[in-house]
Amino acid sequence: MDYIKDVFSRMNLRQIRGFLLFGTDDFDEQAQPYSDKLKKSSDPIFKRLESIYPDGAERDEATGEMSDALAATEYVYMELGMKAGARLLYQLLLTDDKPSGPPSDK
């Protein structure tokens, strides 16, 4: 039964995410804590905003608008992720060994 252990050892959330989002494997991404990934991705845009808007009030307004846009994106993708997870769970629990396809409305 070592093949089962091998299958579980190859499971990687980042690769599954990359495949579902882009149809590719995500082998190159280094595993890093979420907080580090968020900081590394957000620092450049905040530095850019500081260079464009040296005035604190203008920069705060631009940052607020950017945050609103990112929050809306976050809400949408969180809901889509929850729906995708629910669909996968449905398939795992209720359609085992049946042809795959979207859940019916019945």
**Domain-located, residue 101:** no
**Chain position carrying tokens 């359609």:** 95
**Domain-located, residue 15:** yes
| pLDDT score for 31 | 73
**Domain-located, residue 12:** yes
- State percent of the chain over pLDDT 70: 83
**Domain-located, residue 86:** yes
pTM to 2 decimals? 0.58
Q: Which residue has the higher pLDDT, 79 or 97?
A: 79
Count of domains forming the chain: 1
**Domain-located, residue 36:** no
Domain that holds residue 21: 2-27+53-94
Residue 106: is its pLDDT beyond 60?
Answer: no
**Domain-located, residue 35:** no
